[in-house]
Amino acid sequence: MGLLFKLMVLLRVGLGLAISIEMYDFLDHQASLAQIAYCINGKGGLRRGPDSELIFPSQLDTSVDANETLGEQRRYTLETIIDPGSGYVLVDHLCCTIHLVFRGSKTQDDWLSDASFLPSKFEPIVLKESAWKEVWGYPLASAAVGLMSPSQALAKWSEVFEEGFWVHTGFFATVERILPVVLGAVVKAQVNNHGYTVEVTGHSMGGAVALLCAIEFDLVGMQVGVTTFSAPRTFSPKLARFVDSRFVHRRVVHGGDIVPYVPPRPIYGHSGTEMYVAKKGLPHAASDVAVRGGGGEAQNAEAQDADNEDELVESTGIGEQLLHRIKKALGSAEHSNLLRQLSQCARL
């Protein structure tokens, strides 16, 4: 799927086409999953029933039908909710997919506390034996699903990471706190659902966390795909290029949203294939989503954005004014509305 996806992207970029209906349906489903993540802590919100069935408000405007069945089996089972309400692991038995989904931060202040823009050296968590002590079923379960041990992964990747990759300090600190629980939940779902693929999805800061978790999964041999909505830049351009060489990252952004422009270049860069929405307001159809480039901040997309980003930095500076503008942007429709209303437990 990865090679075919990249070939289709190159064709559509070259022709300046909107995304296909099939890709739109896929992205819309991922958007629904991201939207549901905002229902975790609400009254009557997302929870797991006695048989792991998915339960959420019946009026939720989503493509995910919690009551859908496949014969006598429910289509969706909820594996776990990630504390403290930052995401969940969901198994889709129709598509044979394990979904790891992250919401954005609970408050704007949470996001801004991580938006110091200070990079630190990326030292993969999964290469450390100590990080696996809290992972469910380790070492038998991870070996059963074909994952490398920390020592095997370290032997494979140590020289690569000696070159030096940089990552956003705040986002990576979040991943360090939750990775053992998240990795354990995904491994457990793989053990119980042999051969299922893994998709990681996130909105806003949740997109950054999703991307960093996917890197960790990939380094121990897990096959992953990633979809992010309105995600900020997360790591150095060098690490972005490494990501693009490893797995598919579909990066959905809105032209009126400044969050994908921060933290600033050239220290930070984007990975993935950009799916660009220019239309203000919902609904967004397939014709409203254009493929603007593969391979991170591709030249054609970057050229179109240069003036916008220069204006952003010149008008605000890198400091309190920029943080204020980001805080304002986090509550904007352009940041929240991508195919669906993502940043709240939206109802019909």
d(C-alpha 76, C-alpha 91), whole Å? 6
Q: For every one of its 348 residues, what pLDDT tens digit does the chain have, with 9 covering 90 and above? A: 566 655 554 555 445 578 999 999 999 999 999 998 888 865 556 777 777 777 776 656 778 888 788 888 889 998 988 876 689 999 999 999 999 999 987 655 555 554 456 889 999 999 999 999 999 999 999 999 999 999 999 999 999 988 779 999 889 998 999 999 999 999 999 999 999 999 999 999 999 999 999 999 999 999 999 999 999 999 999 999 999 999 999 999 998 898 898 888 888 999 999 999 999 889 999 999 999 876 666 544 444 455 455 444 444 444 556 666 666 667 688 898 999 989 877 553
Q: Where are the domains of the chain?
A: 2-341
d(C-alpha 266, C-alpha 117), whole Å? 12
* 8 Å CB contact between 93 and 75: yes
* 8 Å CB contact between 276 and 288: no
* 8 Å CB contact between 267 and 119: yes
Angle between helices 205-219 and 169-192 in degrees, nearest 10: 60
* 8 Å CB contact between 223 and 156: no
pLDDT confidence of residue 186? 97
pLDDT confidence of residue 280? 87
| CATH number of 2-341, picked from 3.40.50.1820, 3.90.1010.10, 3.40.50.300, 3.30.1370.10 | 3.40.50.1820
d(C-alpha 189, C-alpha 4), whole Å? 27
